[in-house]
Each structure stands twice: as structure tokens, then as C-alpha cells.
Amino acid sequence: MHGEYQIVREAVAKQAAVNILSAAGFALSGGAQTRSVSRDGVSDSRTYAGKQAGAELRAQYEEWLRQHVRRIGQRYGGLTLQVV
């Protein structure tokens, strides 16, 4: 029984980690890297960091979730991951 739901626990943990890594990566990157403001043209342009902290790990977890969530849902009759 312990191992039967292990993949479900892993999916929930990885989804939580993806959410945390996304928020932390954005916060640690400082948000916008460059900003350009124009007076006469009334334009505002921002460029964000391409590589955030934890981006590689987040990408690995997202790939794992893409590969496994559908199969888990089929086995257990549906799976919606929402981490609060």
C-alpha cells in the first residue's frame, strides 16, 4: 500500500516545487533586468531575466509532470494538481 500511491505523492510534490521555484526564481532575479522609458512617445519597455534561479530543476519537474500526470489520471480515475 505504501508504494501504491508513491507516484501520486511525487506528482503533488513536484507540482508544489514548480510553483515555488517559479515564484522564487522571479523574486531572486529582481524582476525586470532592463527598463526603457520614453517621454514623448509615452512608451515603457521592460526586459526580464531569461535564466532564473532553479530554472533547470523546474524544467525537469515540468517535463516529468508532462510525462506522468496523464498516466496517473488514467490509473486513478483523474488527477487535478492544484497546490495552495
Structural domain includes residue 12: yes
Q: What is the pLDDT of residue 60?
A: 92
Statement: residue 2 has pLDDT above 60: yes
- Structural domain count of the chain: 1
Q: Per-residue pLDDT tens for 12-69?
A: 899 889 888 887 776 666 555 566 676 665 666 656 555 666 788 888 999 999 898 8
Answer yes or no: is 81 within a domain. no
Contact 55, 44 (CB under 8 A): no
Domain that holds residue 20: 6-76
Q: Report the candidate in 3, 1, 2, 4 with the shortest Cα–Cα distance to residue 75.
A: 4
- Domain-located, residue 23: yes
pLDDT at 27: 65
**What's residue 76's pLDDT?**
80
